[in-house]
Amino acid sequence: MNPTRPTGTYPFGSKLRPLFQEDRSPKRLFVLGVYASAVHAKWIGLDGRVLVRALAVASEPVIFWDGSGADRVIARIDVPALAGRLEPAGLAFNGSSGRSIDDDFLSSLGVARKDAWLCDLVPHTCLNPQQCAAIGREYEPRRHDCGLPQVDLPQVPRIFADDRRRAEVLDEIEEAQPEVIILLGDQPIRHFLSYQERRWRKLADFGDDYGRLHPVVMRDRRYQVLPLAHPRQVRGLGTHSTDWRLRHEVWKREVAPGLLGRPRAANILKIV
């Protein structure tokens, strides 16, 4: 099945690019997130005033990007002289989820990124309300006079995966042949796992079994799913729950180091 490849244009003209796992060899872990982030820039006007502290201006170079090379991406964007200039936004706005995946999830399990297959329910950037407000407040009033292109990026959806997208994710899982499927927060559980196993619809449904392995059958194959909080919760980024952050800290310290413990499990055998 060919994956969904939407189109769109960022502020200043970069084209929306969907992000998929590049190394398609089998992996020990499969990580399922929500939607891709973006490269964010600080937009500074001709008078030196900061117009937007962190504006999404390009797709991330790779899935679950760690923020490296943001200056090079932004330098390639053509900014008309009347529009001012762009600089990389603060570190918190570029690659925070990717760094969290490495530091708060994979390394705690003793797994390198090269041994993980990364995937999002929505494989591209989505504009959240804050980005929409910044574009409406600062970009649109200047667009005509500065000769800027119209922004037509998709907004954050209410439903993060339909039947077609769930089938695409299942295709990726079969290709990855993982031992464990990590689910990052409520949305992968609600919009993907609950269609395979109805008893779970959100992270809280796992109760005291946070960060433990749970057997699940998908397309006649057995996997282990590992429910964990979203990097936003784990890192305390924006609106978040202190409870999930503290639970994850306990998991990193007391559960994760011994959770896998062996090279590859034999639980991915096809049911006959």
Average pLDDT value over all residues in the chain: 93
CA distance 57 to 86: 9
Q: What is the pLDDT of residue 3?
A: 59
CA distance 173 to 27: 10
pLDDT band with cut points at 50, 70 and 90 for residue 1: low
Sheet strand arrangement including 116-125: 116-125, 29-36, 180-184, 221-228, 214-218
Q: What is the pLDDT of residue 264?
A: 45
**Exposed / middle / buried, residue 88 (Cβ in 10 Å: 0-12, 13-18, 19+):** buried
Which contiguous run of DSSP H or E holds residue 186? helix 186-191
Which contiguous run of DSSP H or E holds residue 163? helix 163-176
pLDDT tops 80 at residue 5:
no
Q: What is the pLDDT of residue 267?
A: 40
pTM assigned to the model: 0.92
pLDDT in tens, 125-158: 999 999 999 999 999 999 999 999 999 999 999 9
**Exposed / middle / buried, residue 81 (Cβ in 10 Å: 0-12, 13-18, 19+):** exposed
| Rounded average pLDDT over 9-19 | 97
